[in-house]
Amino acid sequence: MTSSGRGTVFFGPFIGEFGWELLFWQGWVRKVCKADFAGFRKIACSVPGRQPFYPYVDEFWPLPEEFLKLGVSAHGYFTDAWRAGYPGKHIERHTLRSLLEGIRRLRWPRRVWTEERLDLPDVEPHAEAMLASFRERLPDGTIFYVPWKWNRHEPDGLEFGMSFHPTDPPRKDAFRSQNIGFANQFTERLEPTLEGKRWVAENLRSSSRLIALFPRCRLIKRPDRNWSRENYLALTEHLRRNHPEFSVAIFGEPAGVYFSDGVPDGCFDLIQVPPFSRMDIQLAALKQSVLAVGSTSGGIIFASYSGCPTIVWGDPMWIARYREENVLKTPQLYYPKMQPTVDEIVSVIRHYLAEGSFPACA
């Protein structure tokens, strides 16, 4: 019990996608910490370094190394290969219906995605063992909100999380996920800590105006959303040659981006920084960035939550979704093309840097 006598509440462990933690978790944790758990001992648990998501908790507990070293692929509120190889790897296939539709419309058929079972050990037992170890460290009566379980928050009757319906043989549609909508969140701009600001001041030129690149590279989940490494190399070279008044910085986490093995010459490397401070450092760097650029990803949404204007490209069908999820109304251009050319992105960047606004291309 805390000194106030009101108890302990534990949020996590969060092991899912960065974008889901940003859009459908941390804002709710902020809200209930302020509205429902004042006086409680409040603990958030997530990937090391993500403490800036949780300014209203009393303690931040990082996921233990024995879980992190599994190298799991995040998926919503949980992970790929959670149980019996599902959720699995995204595989693009064309059905007869999609092919006929493409012929009728004289265009390449729309993408159809299915899942292929992953031949990997189940992640669920490892996650449950981790949760059990946290329970042992906390007092009886601790309130737990665990993203990969089905939760109910009684004050507002909110239900969210993940449930599993066993099937034989296992199927990809056995999982049900329910996220937390924005109406049930306290959404505010993300801010770095003093430590993050200090690192940036000591390691980057404080006068540098940055262009932030988020070079997404995920191989299991929707690889079509990756732009190529060669495209990013060409883009960084263009920016360095034609816009020397800006410094290019490469953002992201090692498992989900290109250039984890070294960034292009002349760029700031914000990937290979201290892991426990990585998100904090990147957040501080975004505060002196004039623009963030990349394909659809949690990283680009993170940039918009920092207040940094963003250029993002992807499926035209996602324009409305990205506008809805831009709850802070940060300046954003959604370029409606899955694989734009380097010249197309250069043109948009050039317009923004010259005019201070985005062209009308979406």
More confident residue, 190 or 338: 190
Pick 194-355's CATH classification: 3.20.20.70, 3.40.50.2000, 3.30.930.10, 3.40.1390.30: 3.40.50.2000
Domain positions in the chain: 8-79+121-184, 194-355
Of 145, 143, 176, 174, the closest CA to residue 158 belongs to 145
Tell me the pairing of strands 332-335 and 59-62. unpaired
What confidence tens digit (pLDDT) does each residue in 285-335 have? Answer: 999 999 999 998 888 999 999 999 999 999 888 899 889 999 999 999 999
| Those residues with Cβ within 8 angstroms of residue 121's Cβ, 6 or more apart along the chain or in another chain | 81
Q: What is the mean pLDDT of residues 71-98?
A: 78
Burial label for 144, CB within 10 Å (0-12, 13-18, 19+), is middle
The answer to whether the peptide bond before residue 275 is cis (omega within 30 degrees of 0) is no
Reduce the DSSP state of residue 30 to 3 states and report it: helix
* Whole-angstrom distance, CA of residue 132 vs CA of residue 206: 44
Q: H/E/C letters for each residue in 268-317?
A: EECCCCCHHHHHHHHHHHHCCEEEEEEECCHHHHHHHHCCCCEEEECCHH
Q: What is the pTM of this model?
A: 0.84
What confidence tens digit (pLDDT) does each residue in 22-34 have? Answer: 999 999 999 999 9
Of 145, 146, 144, 150, the closest CA to residue 176 belongs to 150
Phi-psi category of 141—alpha, beta or left, where left has phi over 0 and alpha has psi -120 to 50?
left
In order, the DSSP letters of 103-129 are HHHTSPPPPEEEEE---S--SHHHHHH
Report whether 162 contacts 147 (CB < 8 A): yes
Q: What share of the chain has pLDDT > 90, as a percent?
A: 66
- For the chain, the 3-state helix, strand and coil shares in percent, each to the nearest 5, are 35, 20, 45
Reduce the DSSP state of residue 154 to 3 states and report it: helix
Q: pLDDT at residue 4 above 50?
A: no
If you count them, how many residues does the chain have? 362
